[in-house]
Chain A
Amino acid sequence: VSTAVETATEIQAFQVEIPKEKIDDLRRRIAATRLPGKELVDDRSQGVQLATLEALADYWATDYDFGRVEARLNPLPQFKTEIDGVDVHFIHLRSEHDNALPLIMTHGWPGSVIELLETIGPLTDPTAYGGTADDAFHLVLPSIPGYGFSGEPTEIGWYSGRVAQAWAELMERLGYSRYVAQGGDQGAAITDDMAHQGPEGLIGVHMNLLRSALGDVSSLPVESDQERSALAQIATFRQSGFGYFLEQSTRPQTIGYALLDSPIALAGWMLDHDTDSYYKISRAFVDREPVGGLTRDHILDNVTLYWLTSTGASAARSYWEGGRAAALAAGKAPSPVSIPVGFTTFPGEIFQAPKSWVEKLYPNVTYFNEAARGGHFAAWEEPQLFTEELRAAFGSLR
């Protein structure tokens, strides 16, 4: 019996290995893409523009180095461990500074651990990145079940709350008895659930998306200019870029066929997240003018990861779980968050959450800041700035 238990909770070292046939097949499919006619407008108002995807396809098939995903991930200490029936993949980097604060950071959709890689240096090795030894973090970057190299759930129920419980188990298994958690996008949902669950050892959280305001603003004040502007931004998002959200929340399997079978469809779907990040990524491909870390290579590392791990459908299902969980929880107030909460509003995010909204949702806001730059993929786009936010947000909890 004890052997079985040990096996189940064992942490195994993991290396990415991508068979050459998979790369060849991907290349072949990109080259064989049937493209539609050009959109009938000169902007994003009909979706991802043909010129952007053509430039992406051209770079992907011609210039992109398909060894990059392996080459970037394998130098990092990667592991897998089975939690609640699913193999969880994670990167785990211990800082050289013994007093470092353990931090579990969760990616979102259409992201993966890829979007967080550039923050690893500044977070774990602050003295090399403009910080002091007191700013150091031990860093855990897990892949959400159904994403990247984590296994995909084979039953329903893996909503953000269950992922949150798995993360608490993961941190405990790693031996961390005092740690903090961070997330944006889907990662914000998971981190928010962790804060509500309040597992032993979790001493604070930081988020860069106010998840619940995206779903329901009815409890939030709309009086100041800032509040009105945030509300208008949410309305714009819901009217002009909500199709992917609704489709993934209700019909993940239907869109899943396209995401598994066509690399260019997958790239198009993933690029079509929000207006700010779309135009930044589009500029990287069309004008070769990337904004911060949103470079062509970084973007394609992430799209290639989704393709090679065949996770388009399973990642989309996490939205379905979110919708189902919200329906089941309707009318029930979640247990209040008592631990300290830090929040950073990035100027290019879908909406700029006002401090008043953050304080309305979390009674114990210990840090709030409006960053100077960065959008929805803040850690990816502005890793140094993002790191400084985490240093400041968690400084008082060390």
Chain B
Amino acid sequence: MSATIETATEIRPFKVEIPDEKIDDLRGRIEATRWPTKELVDDASQGIQLATLKALADYWTNEYDFGRLAERLNALPQYTTEIDGLDIHFIHVESPHEDALPLIITHGWPGSVIEMLEVIGPLTDPTAHGGSAEDAFHVVIPSIPGYGFSSEPSEPGWGSGRIGEAWAELMSRIGYSAYVAQGGDQGAGVTDAMGRQAPDGLLGVHFNFLDAVPRELLMAALNLRLAFSHDDREQLSKVVAIFMRGYIAEMGEHPQTIGYPLVDSPIGLAAWMLDHDADSYEKISRAFLDDQPSGGLTRDHVLDNITLYWLTGTGTSTSRLYWETGRASTASFKNPPPHVKLPVAYTVFPDELFQAPRHWVKHAYHNLIYYNEAEKGGHFAAWEQPEIFAGEMRAAFRSLRNGSSS
């Protein structure tokens, strides 16, 4: 009996192996793409522009090194372990500094562990990246179920709440009894859930996206006791615009339908993934058209992520998370989840979908211990500005280290 239990909770080393046939098939499909005609406008107002996607396809087939993905990931300690019936893939890098604070970072959509790779160095080895030994983190970067090399759920119910519980189990299984959590985008949803669940060992959380349940968010924005400034109105209109995005509606309602192109057409997948927000699209578009990337959003990095989605065939299973999130937020109107009592830290990035004013964040999370407006960076803050992002983690969690050592 004990053998069974040990097997189930076992942590196994993991290496990415990609068969050549899969790469050949991908190349063949990109080359055989049937293209639509050019959009009828001179900007992104009809969606991803043909010139951008053609430049991406050209680079993908002619210059991109398909060995990059396995090389980048296999250079890191990767593992899988079964939690709640699913194999969870994660990267776990321990800092050489023993007092380092354990940190679990959750990626979002259309992201993966790829968007977090460049923060690993600054976070685990701060002395080599302008920090001091006291800034060190042990870093755990899991793949959300249905994403990348984690297995995909075979039943409904894997919303951010269940993922949050799995992360707490993961941290405990690794042996961390005092740790912090961080997330943006869907990762903010998972981290928010962890904050509400407040599992043993979780000391605090940091967000770079305000994913508090819509009710709480809207109340924070609309609360009459709060000054309703011009900035509030401007930010609120940005929030409302998010819910008018086709990709959110489609993935939230019918992930299976949009899933067919996402696993069958590499260019269909690339277009869908690039069409996240205006700022990141423009930055990525510049990288491909003018070879002028913004920070870490380089052609290679962007294609590492798209190639990962393609090779793992996860376009559909990743979309289902939006369906789960939609169901969960509808349910939360009836049964609001508990408040977050743990310390919360928040960083506003200037090019994020909306710049949550401090008083919104404070209203959603009463125990706000840190709030800062970063000078650069957008929705994919860790990916685009890894040094700034790491600096935010250091500052945000500094006060919790003292608590943890006492």
Contacts and interface: CB of A to CB of B under 8 A. Distances in A.
Interface in A226-272: 239-244, 246-262, 264-265, 267-269, 272
27 contacts: A34-B264, A36-B315, A36-B316, A37-B152, A40-B155, A46-B254, A46-B320, A46-B323, A47-B258, A50-B256, A154-B37, A154-B40, A156-B40, A246-B249, A247-B247, A249-B246, A251-B247, A253-B271, A254-B271, A254-B272, A257-B268, A260-B34, A261-B261, A261-B265, A264-B264, A265-B268, A313-B37
Contacts of B153: 40
A320 interface: yes
A300 B315 CA distance: 25
B102 interface: no
Contact of A247 (B40, B154, B249, B263): B249
Contacts of B336: none
A153 interface: yes
Contacts of A317: 40, 46
Interface in B45-65: 46-50, 53
A251 B260 contact: no
Contact of A251 (B34, B46, B50, B154): B46
Contacts of A312: 36
Nearest to B253: A243
Given A152-B37, A153-B40, A250 B257 contact: no
Nearest to B156: A40
B36 A313 contact: yes
| Interface SS of chain A | helix
Given A36-B313, A152-B37, A48 B261 contact: no
Nearest to B323: A46
A41 B256 CA distance: 10
A212 to B, nearest CB: 20
A316 B39 CA distance: 11
Contacts of B260: 35-36, 48, 53, 262, 264-265, 267-269
A65 interface: no
Interface in B258-285: 258-265, 267-268, 270-272, 275
A297 to B, nearest CB: 22
A68 B390 CA distance: 61
Contacts of B323: 46
A252 B46 contact: yes
Which of A152, A153, A260, A264 has the most B CB atoms < 10 Å from its CB? A260
Contacts of B47: 250-256
A39 B233 CA distance: 39
Nearest first, the 8 closest Cβ-Cβ pairs linking A and B are A247-B246, A243-B250, A47-B254, A258-B261, A258-B268, A254-B47, A47-B257, A265-B261
Given A36-B262, A258-B268, A313-B37, 14 more contacts: A36-B315, A37-B317, A40-B153, A48-B254, A240-B253, A254-B47, A254-B48, A254-B272, A257-B36, A261-B261, A269-B261, A272-B257, A310-B34, A317-B46
Interface residues of B, number: 52
Nearest to A33: B264
A239 B323 CA distance: 12
Contact of A243 (B249, B268, B316): B249
A35 B245 contact: no
B255 interface: yes
A11 B144 CA distance: 59
A393 to B, nearest CB: 35
Contacts of B256: 36, 39, 46-50, 268
Interface of A: 33-37, 39-41, 46-50, 53, 152-156, 239-244, 246-262, 264-265, 267-269, 272, 310, 312-314, 317, 320
A347 B320 CA distance: 32
Interface string B235-253: 0000000001111011111
A313 B41 CA distance: 14
A251 to B, nearest CB: 4
A48 B258 CA distance: 9
Contact of A314 (B33, B36, B272): B36
Contacts of A247: 246-247, 249-250
A155 B317 CA distance: 37
B263 A36 contact: yes
A40 B46 contact: no
A350 to B, nearest CB: 15
Contact of A244 (B245, B250, B270): B250
B271 A257 contact: yes
B276 to A, nearest CB: 10
A35 B246 contact: no
Nearest to B157: A40
A34 B22 CA distance: 12
Nearest to A49: B256
A38 to B, nearest CB: 8
A158 to B, nearest CB: 9
A261 B33 contact: yes
A41 B249 CA distance: 18
B267 A261 contact: yes
B275 A265 contact: no
B254 A261 contact: no
A37 B260 CA distance: 10
A43 B259 CA distance: 16
A36 B271 contact: no
Contact of B254 (A152, A243, A264): A243
Contacts of B255: 39, 46-47
A257 B268 CA distance: 5
B263 A34 contact: yes
A225 to B, nearest CB: 26
A326 to B, nearest CB: 13
Contacts of A310: 34, 36
Contacts of A265: 260-261, 264-265, 268
A331 B353 CA distance: 29
Given A46-B254, A242-B253, A258-B272, A253 B246 contact: no
B46 A253 contact: yes
Interface string B141-169: 00000000000111110000000000000
A259 to B, nearest CB: 8
Nearest to A272: B257
Contacts of B265: 257-258, 261-262, 265
A41 to B, nearest CB: 6
Contacts of A268: 256-257, 260-261
Q: Which of B245, B259, B275 has the most CB of A within 10 A?
A: B259
B19 to A, nearest CB: 14
Contacts of B49: 253
B212 to A, nearest CB: 22
Contacts of A155: 40
Nearest to A238: B249
Given A256-B36, A312-B36, A262 B261 contact: yes
A40 B255 CA distance: 10
